[in-house]
Amino acid sequence: MTAAQRALVDPPLIALAEPGFHLSALEYRALEKRREAFARQMSELHQRYDLLVTPQLATTAFATGHEVPPGTALERWWQWSPFTYPFNLTQQPAGTVPCGFASNGLPVAMQLVAARFADRTVLRAARAYERMHPIRTPPLPGRRPPAWHRILACSPQNAERRQWTSVKSGAWRRNSLPHASTTCARRASI
């Protein structure tokens, strides 16, 4: 890479790529064979199992402006994200689905991984999970929830069939409706 090209890349990514700049063709090919062997192992696993389910991350969200969670011994981003990059190496489809909250109240997600070229399996499994376990996040006081929250709140899976309306104070509150509106029902099925 030229100096101008390096200047366009985040320093942590340069640090990750740096060892590769000094590999010979034979050393590179040896590493590529290891990646291919790992991909074959994952292919064998998916001959028995449709999906592999892992955590998405090894930590919950932390303050912006930090590459790693403050107060930890971690030095680089890939140390807190060990579950995602292996499937970039094996070229497998993976999807992330919110699945709950950690003890600190922050959201966590699971990662669904399928066999190479089985993107449809990941998407169908993610959608099935979302239908069975709709995301339920509390709105921030005085703020209108995001559009996706309103869509989920109006979805057929939510027996209360709620819709958000404005009150005089500018805050937003829920009103129970006997039926979901056509618009909400249609948007929820997207």
Is there a single domain that holds both residue 139 and residue 125? no
Cα separation, 95 vs 87, in Å, equals 11
158-170 pLDDT, tens digit each: 433 333 333 333 3
Residue count of the chain, please give it.
Answer: 190
DSSP track, 83-126:
TTHHHHHTT--EEEEEEEE-TTS-EEEEEEEESTT-HHHHHHHH
Query: For residue 166, what are its two tokens?
Result: 């404005």
Q: Which of 131, 157, 174 is the last residue of a domain?
A: 131
Domain assignment of residue 180, given as a range: 134-190
Domain total in the chain: 2
Is there a single domain that holds both residue 87 and residue 101? yes
pTM for the model stands at 0.67
Q: Are the beta carbons of 130 and 110 closer than 8 angstroms?
A: no
Between the CA of residue 86 and those of 4, 14, 25, 57, 102, what are the distances in Å?
29, 19, 22, 13, 24
93-135 pLDDT, tens digit each: 999 999 988 888 889 999 999 999 999 999 999 999 999 998 8
Is there a single domain that holds both residue 178 and residue 108? no
CA 102 to chain centre: 15
Is there a single domain that holds both residue 125 and residue 140? no
Instruction: Decide the pairing of beta strands 172-176 and 162-166.
Output: antiparallel
Is there a single domain that holds both residue 155 and residue 117? no
21-78 pLDDT, tens digit each: 999 999 999 999 999 999 999 999 999 999 999 999 989 988 888 889 999 999 888 8
Handedness of CA 70, 72, 73, 78 (dihedral sign): negative
Is there a single domain that holds both residue 47 and residue 60? yes
Predicted confidence at residue 112, as pLDDT, reads 97
Is there a single domain that holds both residue 82 and residue 11? yes
